Amino acid sequence: MWRRRTGGARRSPEAAQAELAEPVQPVEPPALTIDALGRKCPIPIIMLAERINQVATGGVVAVLADDPAAFTDVPAWCRLKSHEHVASYELPQGGWSIHVRRNY
């Protein structure tokens, strides 16, 4: 059964906007980068599924994608497959670097 998360710190809209304005750098460099720029979904997810086993357990894979569907579909795939969506970073040329930690 799903439950709504309760509690936790609430941020003001100004704090959230300030956080978005600052460029965020990845904390951990990815062990593997998959370039799916210019590819439409579900190709970025297929590329991730085929190559995630090339990284050691606990390693991070960066998926570079510019299809808006990938921005939501890759984290959903992580939940479905029990991997961790670490973060998504905007790329200067457009698109995102979506970081996934391999859990098994």
DSSP letters along 35-84, please?
A: E-TTPPTTHHHHHHHHHGGGS-TT-EEEEEE--HHHHHHHHHHHHHHT-E
Per-residue pLDDT, 55:
97
Domain boundary assignment for the chain: 28-101
pLDDT in tens, 40-73: 999 999 999 999 999 999 999 999 999 999 999 9
64 and 35 in contact (C-beta within 8 Å)? yes
63 and 98 in contact (C-beta within 8 Å)? yes
Per-residue pLDDT, 24:
57
Superfamily of domain 28-101: TusA-like domain (3.30.110.40)
Higher model confidence: residue 55 or residue 14?
Answer: 55
Per-residue pLDDT, 23:
52
So which residues are the catalytic ones? 41
What is this structure's pTM?
0.75
The number of angstroms, rounded, from the C-alpha of 79 to the middle of its chain's C-alpha atoms is 11
